[in-house]
Amino acid sequence: MILINIVMPIRPEKMDEWLALADSYARDVNAEEGCLFFKFSRSLDDENEFVCIEGFRDAEAGSSHVAQPHVKRFFEAAPDVVSAQPQIIYIDTPHDGFAPMGEIQPR
């Protein structure tokens, strides 16, 4: 599995535009065959910062992802809404998605 985390700092005055872009993009990416999960989460301590959490089946699925038309559209639109260059972590891991966390279970 390819695991990608990206910190996306957003310009406050572009927040509505960002939310529409992020929603559309997440729907498109989640529909890709090799996508295991794709989510944006808003920071609890900075309302203008989002973290993108992406999981793809393998490197081939990741390569297919970046070749999609919706990725090109996102890459063309994102520079107008970010306040700084996004920061990324890319990991190729033998896991195949999320697993139960042993330390916490509902009571």
Number of domain units in the chain:
1
The answer to the question of residue 56 being in a domain is: yes
pLDDT tens digit sequence for 1-15 = 999 999 999 999 999
The answer to the question of residue 47 being in a domain is: yes
Neighbours of 4 (CB within 10 A): 16
pLDDT tens digit sequence for 89-98 = 999 999 988 9
Q: Is 0.75 topped by the overall pTM?
A: yes
CA distance 44 to 74: 24
The answer to the question of residue 103 being in a domain is: no
The answer to the question of residue 98 being in a domain is: no
Domain extent at residue 62: 2-92
Q: Are 53 and 42 in contact (CB under 8 A)?
A: no
CATH number of the CATH domain containing 67: 3.30.70.100
